[in-house]
Amino acid sequence: MTQDFDLFRLSEEHEMLRESVRSLAEAKIAPFAAAVDEEGRFPQEALDALLANDLHAVHVPEEYGGAGADALATVLVIEEVARVCASSSLIPAVNKLGSLPVQLSGSEELKAKYLGALARGEGMFSYCLSEPEAGSDAAGMKTRAVRDGDFWVLNGVKRWITNAGVSEFYTVMAVTDPSLRSKGISAFVVEKGDEGVSFGAPEKKLGIKGSPTREVYFDNVRIPADRMIGAEGTGFATAMRTLDHTRVTIAAQALGIAQGALDYAKGYVRERKQFGKAIAEFQGVQFMLADMAMKLEAARQLTYAAAAKSQRGDGDLTFFGASAKCFASDVAMEVTTDAVQLLGGYGYTRDYPVERMMRDAKITQIYEGTNQVQRIVMARNLP
């Protein structure tokens, strides 16, 4: 009996995409990564490079002016950018997170307007789900949207919003019928320039310092009724469907961070000499590197399989998306921690990139659902 094993090998087109994004990332993004982290500033150089090469939102379908890349191609873009700068990888990742609800549930008019604007580089997209008192319990949100003729009026606060203040467009989940809990939540597109929209100060974070995280305030924000995404009351379901797909992109980010740390550590241990020979020749070091590479490759295979399921819309995507995000982020934390260990005292300093990678890796275990929440999701969706 023979079997086609192509599932476990990237296509030539995907390999070419990886190579081109890696070259771009190393040339145009990596040189600024340390400064972006040190200064806590938005990676404008990365955005410019991604826009110039149409890599800022590759998931947007061709009919709306996008590249029409599949889910695996999107993963590869995020992975390769994250390999040199995790903050910069949140540009393509959060553009997908913010705009996917429109793509999944929006009207054709909404898709044409906002996916088209995103594809043309007219603004980034952010995703507003979490609130000060509604994190893991997202259905407990308090932001309200009240119908007023041909408009909806939004009031509330969203917290932990990635790229807030920089993005032009925001997918916002708000309660339209408080009596229905999750079935009373609807989704809307809000623009940065809408009257009543404002932003809090950037959070002072452990990692991904180049990607601003702010609160977003809605003070009697009046938007046209046709900016609702899908039917009234379907917002929470759309939000959860979105996360099934975009948790795969967080896994991709984790892969990239871990790969960057492993690559740097490999080079270091081959050059660093102690007791008269390169420390790479010591078995203890070799075992650490072997474990790092083994776990990273396992995470990669799981992530790519989840991306394929995302592209097909498989019924077990919820399980695989949660699994990939959880496993890859745990691996990224372990691999980056081991990379710091392999560099010894140097790894603990900001003169070397692995301490930044270790700090950046931590958030992948937390956002888009903590890894504890991922395990709940997996347990409820066992194949």
The reported pLDDT for the residue numbered 1 is 40
361-366: average pLDDT: 98
Tokens read off for 19: 């190579």
DSSP 202-239: PP--SS-TTS-EEEEEEEEEEEEGGGEESSTT-HHHHH
| Residues 176, 147 contacting (CB under 8 angstroms) | yes
| Residues 365, 334 contacting (CB under 8 angstroms) | no
Instruction: Check: pTM over 0.75? Answer yes or no.
Output: yes
User: Is the predicted pLDDT of residue 26 greater than 70, yes or no?
Assistant: yes
The reported pLDDT for the residue numbered 8 is 64
User: Is the predicted pLDDT of residue 380 greater than 70, yes or no?
Assistant: yes
Average of per-residue pLDDT values in the chain: 96
The reported pLDDT for the residue numbered 6 is 45
The reported pLDDT for the residue numbered 383 is 85
The reported pLDDT for the residue numbered 178 is 97
The reported pLDDT for the residue numbered 84 is 98
How many CB atoms within 10 Å of residue 112? 14
User: Is the predicted pLDDT of residue 7 greater than 80, yes or no?
Assistant: no
222-274 residue pLDDT tens: 999 999 999 999 999 999 999 999 999 999 999 999 999 999 999 999 999 99
| Strands, E assignment, 36-184 | 125-128, 144-148, 151-162, 169-175
164-175: average pLDDT: 98
- Active-site residue, selected from the candidate residues 79, 80, 131, 368: 368
The rounded distance, in Å, linking the Cα atoms of 357 and 383 is: 33
Buried b (16+ CB within 10 A) or exposed e, 26-41: eebbbebbeebbeeee
pLDDT band at 4 (very low <50, low <70, confident <90, very high): very low
Residue 201 DSSP symbol: P
Tokens read off for 49: 């490079």
Name the CATH code of domain 125-233 (choices 2.30.38.10, 2.40.100.20, 2.40.110.10, 1.10.1740.10): 2.40.110.10
The rounded distance, in Å, linking the Cα atoms of 139 and 97 is: 18
158-174: average pLDDT: 98
332-343 residue pLDDT tens: 999 999 999 999
Residues of the chain with CATH 2.40.110.10: 125-233
Residues of the chain with CATH 1.20.140.10: 237-380
Share of the chain above pLDDT 70, in %: 98
Decide: residue 8, CB within 10 A, 0-12 exposed, 13-18 middle, 19+ buried. Answer: exposed
Return the closest-CA partner of residue 84 out of 253, 249, 206, 204. Answer: 253
Helix or strand holding residue 379 (H, E): helix 371-380
Decide: residue 243, CB within 10 A, 0-12 exposed, 13-18 middle, 19+ buried. Answer: buried
Q: Is 12 annotated in the active site? A: no
Residues 6+ apart with CB under 8 A from 115: 60, 61, 64, 65, 66, 99, 102, 103
Tokens read off for 141: 């949100």
In the block, tokens 């709306």 appear at 64
Return the closest-CA partner of residue 342 out of 296, 292, 277, 276. Answer: 292
287-334 residue pLDDT tens: 999 999 999 999 999 999 999 999 999 999 999 999 999 999 999 999
The rounded distance, in Å, linking the Cα atoms of 73 and 10 is: 10
The reported pLDDT for the residue numbered 9 is 80
Q: Which CATH architecture has domain 237-380?
A: Up-down Bundle (1.20)
Residues of the chain with CATH 1.10.540.10: 6-119
**Single-letter amino acid code for the residue at 150:** D
Residues 6+ apart with CB under 8 A from 246: 93, 96, 97, 100, 368
Q: Does domain 6-119 have CATH number 1.10.540.10?
A: yes
370-380: average pLDDT: 98
DSSP 172-187: EEEES-GGGGGGGEEE
102-108: average pLDDT: 98
Q: Which residues pair with 61 in a beta bridge?
A: none
User: Is the predicted pLDDT of residue 210 greater than 90, yes or no?
Assistant: yes
